[in-house]
């Protein structure tokens, strides 16, 4: 039973009647209804009505009151109002049915899909589901595969010495011969950051917008892959490109970076729409709104499956326009008395442009500090996305030539990274910039999940210098680049897909997005909640999970752009949490007994004042073991080392409930 519908509480059960009686009463009722069909104010009705000698003309108000009384008295009696129209003609019925069919077709355009088609595709996310960032997915047929984005993600605090995480490419190696290209949606690090690491193992054609490929080229230059720019294919939006069995069209999307795109992919099974990262900004900085017309175009033709960004699926309403941040910058410039230092993501070109544009209007020179920030601004200026003349820029060593209220610094470090420029300024380690109490620091970014502690630590350092920090005390100092619920609903209604796979976000985000899709008319049975590695087969008739493939992360040290192996990370975690025990002892080759007391050293396990006590305990344990050891337990140095390691581990677990790294070193004399 639908909400708002049900059996009326005023109706009463009718008494049983004999068949003839029912027939006569029905006939009388029918005659009565036939007599009521004429309009009460028609001339024919007035001419045929006989005057009532008992009726006297009453004032208009009194007449209405009596009618209301009669209406109230008849409430619940099951009687029809005298003047209610009841005639439904055949023409009206046809119109109602025709409009109903039109509505059904309009709300379910996917029914145009050829259900007899034997086409099938498989979709496999290798990153980006169950996490924020690291986006990479594969769409494949029997003969062709394309890779959508190759992004990196950030480590958590337990991954000591790790700068970035890149996806495990094991599955791509198994289908290497099928892969016809890499499809890039936009130039954020979580969508392109791992491309160089993939190219060190495998190389495929890359399709993307000029900005995305220019930023990938910068990464290739850092990694010594300059020659691999020959794999680049620059696309034009609203044009289809044949990539193996697929026809791919890039559709302009609004996001927190220039030239973001959604994808329309025509496959042998039907059309797939992938939103990429998006929000629907009706007043973007560059004036290029999201190409909703193309979403509607493909939606009207019939879309088999929609993949949509789930990052902000819990946020109600709409995400604010990027333009509101510019208004906040105006306020902050008016409040600032000294230098202004603004930090945000280096790829957020519109945000950076707004800050620099306000600087020019307020008579401030612009200084850009930070390698990635310098590189991205240089690229966007070269491509014509940022139009600020050279005369407004200065170098870091020129800052002291100007008054503090004439300087605006754009820098990296909004996530509290130790090596970023803003953190080094906060800790007084930057070569050119020393923070002053008159400085205003604007952090125009939200902490990525896992980076909250790093941002807080950096802010503490900044506040200690006496500088003013503008972070979350201004509501519109930062706006998200991801769609809220109402924007997600709009895409769902424009596309009206048969199947829906929410992507990009943690599991609770995609689960919430699925609920929104059900409200927008997608059948609950046509939605799957996926995790990285789940492979889903899509045909016009069904959507189902068919298998799970290997996924994971590779740890990267950005200082040398090299991989850190898993066992090294595990050792670092154990060292940080449980410490280390070194045991060095001399063993007699003749008797297999200790010649002297062992040297026991610990780090991160026991306090200095407890070192001697702990050393004596370990010495006693080893001496006791060697006195009673069986020949096979001291047969070789490797066997004896393992035995000592096991003894020390048991003692430490019993004593400290910890699992340190234990390193026995034996010398036979």
- Residue 474's pLDDT is 81
78-114 pLDDT, tens per residue? 555 556 666 888 999 999 999 999 999 999 999 999 9
State the average pLDDT over residues 653-658: 89
CA distances from 586 to 163, 581, 636 (A): 41, 17, 14
Rounded Cα distance between 347 and 445, Å, is 12
Rounded Cα distance between 114 and 627, Å, is 82
Structural domains in the chain (count): 3
Residue 212 lies inside a defined structural domain of this protein = yes
State the average pLDDT over residues 391-409: 95
- Which range is most confident: 65-74, 380-389, 511-520, 605-614? 511-520
Q: Which of 500, 521, 556 is the last residue of a domain?
A: 556
- Residue 192's pLDDT is 96
Residue 618 lies inside a defined structural domain of this protein = yes
Residue 79 lies inside a defined structural domain of this protein = no
Lowest mean pLDDT, pick from 325-339, 492-506, 532-546: 325-339
Is 531 exposed, middle or buried, given 0-12, 13-18 or 19+ CB atoms closer than 10 A? middle
Residue 113 lies inside a defined structural domain of this protein = no
Residue 22 lies inside a defined structural domain of this protein = no
Give 45's DSSP letter.
Answer: H
> Where does the pLDDT of residue 417 fall: very low under 50, low under 70, confident under 90, or very high at 90 and above?
confident
59 in helix, strand or coil? coil
Rounded Cα distance between 148 and 139, Å, is 8
| Mean pLDDT taken over the chain | 86
The answer on 552 and 588 residing in a single domain is no
287-336 pLDDT, tens per residue? 999 999 999 999 999 999 999 999 999 999 999 999 999 999 999 999 99
The answer on 491 and 386 residing in a single domain is no
The count of other CB atoms within 10 Å of the CB of residue 465 is: 17
CATH, residue 427: 3.40.50.10710
Rounded Cα distance between 252 and 593, Å, is 77
Report the 3 state secondary structure along 134-165.
CCEEEEECCCCEEEEEECCECCCCCCCCCCEE
* Between residues 75 and 252, the one the model is more confident about: 252
Rounded Cα distance between 325 and 318, Å, is 15
The answer on 135 and 283 residing in a single domain is yes
β-pair type (206-208, 179-183): parallel
The answer on 311 and 329 residing in a single domain is no
Write out the DSSP string of 594-655.
BSS--EEEEESSS-GGGHHHHHHHHHHHHHHHHHH--GGGGSSHHHHHHHHHHHHHHHHHHH
- Residue 78's pLDDT is 52
- Residue 83's pLDDT is 63
Q: Are 137 and 125 in contact (CB under 8 A)?
A: yes
* Between residues 367 and 560, the one the model is more confident about: 367
The count of other CB atoms within 10 Å of the CB of residue 485 is: 20
Q: Is the predicted pLDDT of residue 449 greater than 50, yes or no?
A: yes
State the average pLDDT over residues 42-54: 43
69-88 pLDDT, tens per residue? 444 444 444 555 556 666 88
Q: Is the predicted pLDDT of residue 418 greater than 90, yes or no?
A: no
Lowest mean pLDDT, pick from 13-27, 319-333, 568-582, 654-668: 13-27
The count of other CB atoms within 10 Å of the CB of residue 14 is: 8
Q: Is the predicted pLDDT of residue 660 greater than 60, yes or no?
A: yes
The count of other CB atoms within 10 Å of the CB of residue 106 is: 11
Q: Are 253 and 261 in contact (CB under 8 A)?
A: yes
Q: Is the predicted pLDDT of residue 66 greater than 90, yes or no?
A: no
Sign of CA dihedral 418, 419, 425, 428: positive
Q: Rounded to two decimals, what is the model's pTM?
A: 0.79
555 in helix, strand or coil? strand
Q: Is the predicted pLDDT of residue 651 greater than 80, yes or no?
A: yes
- Residue 12's pLDDT is 39
Rounded Cα distance between 502 and 511, Å, is 8
CATH, residue 643: 3.10.20.580
- Residue 86's pLDDT is 64
CATH, residue 313: 3.60.15.10
Residue 59 lies inside a defined structural domain of this protein = no
Q: Is the predicted pLDDT of residue 157 greater than 80, yes or no?
A: no
- Residue 55's pLDDT is 44
- Residue 161's pLDDT is 78
* Between residues 455 and 6, the one the model is more confident about: 455
Q: Is the predicted pLDDT of residue 432 greater than 80, yes or no?
A: yes
Q: Which of 470, 495, 518 is the last residue of a domain?
A: 470
In this prediction, what percent of the chain has a pLDDT beyond 70?
Answer: 87
The answer on 589 and 532 residing in a single domain is no
Give the ranges where 465-519 is alpha helix by DSSP (H).
485-495, 507-519
* Residues making up the chain, counted from first to last: 669
Residue 69 lies inside a defined structural domain of this protein = no
The answer on 156 and 227 residing in a single domain is yes
Q: Is the predicted pLDDT of residue 666 greater than 70, yes or no?
A: yes
Rounded Cα distance between 152 and 194, Å, is 5
The crossing angle, in degrees rounded to 10, of helices 637-656 and 611-628 is 130
- 603 pairs with which residues across the strands? 580
- Residues ≥6 apart with Cβ < 8 Å to 326: 285, 354, 357, 358
The answer on 461 and 486 residing in a single domain is no
Sign of CA dihedral 302, 307, 312, 315: positive
The answer on 340 and 238 residing in a single domain is no
- 421 pairs with which residues across the strands? none
- Residue 576's pLDDT is 85
In this prediction, what percent of the chain has a pLDDT beyond 90?
Answer: 66
Rounded Cα distance between 484 and 279, Å, is 7
Please work out, in degrees rounded to the nearest 5, the angle formed at the alpha carbon of residue 540 by the alpha carbons of 537 and 545: 20
The answer on 246 and 128 residing in a single domain is yes
- Residue 434's pLDDT is 92
Q: Is the predicted pLDDT of residue 438 greater than 80, yes or no?
A: yes
Nearest to 111 by CA among 307, 306, 300, 247: 300
Nearest to 207 by CA among 169, 178, 248: 248
> Where does the pLDDT of residue 564 fall: very low under 50, low under 70, confident under 90, or very high at 90 and above?
confident
Rg (CA), the chain: 37
> Where does the pLDDT of residue 517 fall: very low under 50, low under 70, confident under 90, or very high at 90 and above?
very high
Residue 77 lies inside a defined structural domain of this protein = no
Q: Which of 438, 470, 502 is the last residue of a domain?
A: 470
The count of other CB atoms within 10 Å of the CB of residue 497 is: 29
- 547 pairs with which residues across the strands? 535
266 in helix, strand or coil? strand
State the average pLDDT over residues 353-378: 93
> Where does the pLDDT of residue 577 fall: very low under 50, low under 70, confident under 90, or very high at 90 and above?
confident
- Residue 15's pLDDT is 42
The answer on 532 and 461 residing in a single domain is no
Lowest mean pLDDT, pick from 392-406, 422-436, 475-489, 551-565: 551-565
- Residue 82's pLDDT is 58
Q: Is the predicted pLDDT of residue 406 greater than 90, yes or no?
A: yes
- Residue 570's pLDDT is 84
Domain holding 231, by residue range, is: 121-317+481-556
The answer on 358 and 300 residing in a single domain is no
The answer on 463 and 486 residing in a single domain is no
- Residue 374's pLDDT is 93
* Between residues 269 and 52, the one the model is more confident about: 269
397 in helix, strand or coil? helix
């Amino acid at each position: 039973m639908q909400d708002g519908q049900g059996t009326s509480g005023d109706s009463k059960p009718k008494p049983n009647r004999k068949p003839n009686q029912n027939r006569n009463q029905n006939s009388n009722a029918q005659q009565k209804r036939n007599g009521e069909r004429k309009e009460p104010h028609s001339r024919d009705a007035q001419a045929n009505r006989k005057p009532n000698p008992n009726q006297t003309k009453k004032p208009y108000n009194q007449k209405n009151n009596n009618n209301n009384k009669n209406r109230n008295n008849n409430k619940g009696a099951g009687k029809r109002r005298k003047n209610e129209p009841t005639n439904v003609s055949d023409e009206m019925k046809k119109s109602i049915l025709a409009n109903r069919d039109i509505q059904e077709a309009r709300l379910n355009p996917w029914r145009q899909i050829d259900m007899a088609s034997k086409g099938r595709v498989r979709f496999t996310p290798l990153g980006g589901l169950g996490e924020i960032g690291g986006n990479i997915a594969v769409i494949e047929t029997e003969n062709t595969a394309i890779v959508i984005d190759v992004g990196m993600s950030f480590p958590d605090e337990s991954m000591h010495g790790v700068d970035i995480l890149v996806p495990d490419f094991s599955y791509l190696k198994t289908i290497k011969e099928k892969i016809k290209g890499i499809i890039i949606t936009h130039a954020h690090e979580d969508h392109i950051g791992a491309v160089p690491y993939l190219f060190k193992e495998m190389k495929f054609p890359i399709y993307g917008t000029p900005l995305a490929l220019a930023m990938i080229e910068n990464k290739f230059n850092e990694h010594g892959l300059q020659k691999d720019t020959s794999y680049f294919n620059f696309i034009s939006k609203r044009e289809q490109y044949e990539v193996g069995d697929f026809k791919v069209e890039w559709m302009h999307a609004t996001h927190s970076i220039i030239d973001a795109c959604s994808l329309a992919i025509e496959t042998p099974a039907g059309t797939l729409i992938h939103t990429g990262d998006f929000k629907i900004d009706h007043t973007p900085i560059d004036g290029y709104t999201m190409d909703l017309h193309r979403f509607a175009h493909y939606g009207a033709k019939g879309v088999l499956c929609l993949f949509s960004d789930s990052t902000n699926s819990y946020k109600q309403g709409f995400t604010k326009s990027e333009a509101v941040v510019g208004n906040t910058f105006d306020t902050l410039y008016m409040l600032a008395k000294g230098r202004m230092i603004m930090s945000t993501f280096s790829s957020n070109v519109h945000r950076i442009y707004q800050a620099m544009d306000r600087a020019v209007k307020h008579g401030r020179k612009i200084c850009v500090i930070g390698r990635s920030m310098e590189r991205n601004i240089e690229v966007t200026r070269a491509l014509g996305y940022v139009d600020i003349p050279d005369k407004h820029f200065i170098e870091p060593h020129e800052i002291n030539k100007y008054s503090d209220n004439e300087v605006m610094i754009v820098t990296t470090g909004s996530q509290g990274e130790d090596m970023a420029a803003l953190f080094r300024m906060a800790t007084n380690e930057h070569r050119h910039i020393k923070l002053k109490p008159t400085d205003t620091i604007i952090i125009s970014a939200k902490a990525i999940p896992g980076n909250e502690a790093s941002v807080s630590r950096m802010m503490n350092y900044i506040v200690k210098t006496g500088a003013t920090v503008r972070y979350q005390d201004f509501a519109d100092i930062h706006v998200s680049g991801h769609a809220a619920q109402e924007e997600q609903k709009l895409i769902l209604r424009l596309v009206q897909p048969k199947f829906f796979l929410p992507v990009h976000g943690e599991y609770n985000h995609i689960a919430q997005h699925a609920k929104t899709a059900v409200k927008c008319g997608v059948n609950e049975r046509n939605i799957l909640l996926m995790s990285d590695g789940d492979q889903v087969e899509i045909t016009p008739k069904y959507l189902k999970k068919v298998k799970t493939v290997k996924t994971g992360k590779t740890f990267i040290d950005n200082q040398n752009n090299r991989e850190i192996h898993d066992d090294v990370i595990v050792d670092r975690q154990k060292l940080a949490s449980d410490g280390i025990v070194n045991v060095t002892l001399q063993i007699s080759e003749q008797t297999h007994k200790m010649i002297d007391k062992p040297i026991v050293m610990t780090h991160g396990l026991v306090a200095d004042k407890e070192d001697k006590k702990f050393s004596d305990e370990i010495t006693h344990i080893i001496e006791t073991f060697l006195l009673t050891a069986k020949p096979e337990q001291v047969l070789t140095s490797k066997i004896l080392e393992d035995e000592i390691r096991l003894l020390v581990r048991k003692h430490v677990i019993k004593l400290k409930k910890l699992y340190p790294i234990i390193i026995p070193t034996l010398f036979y004399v």
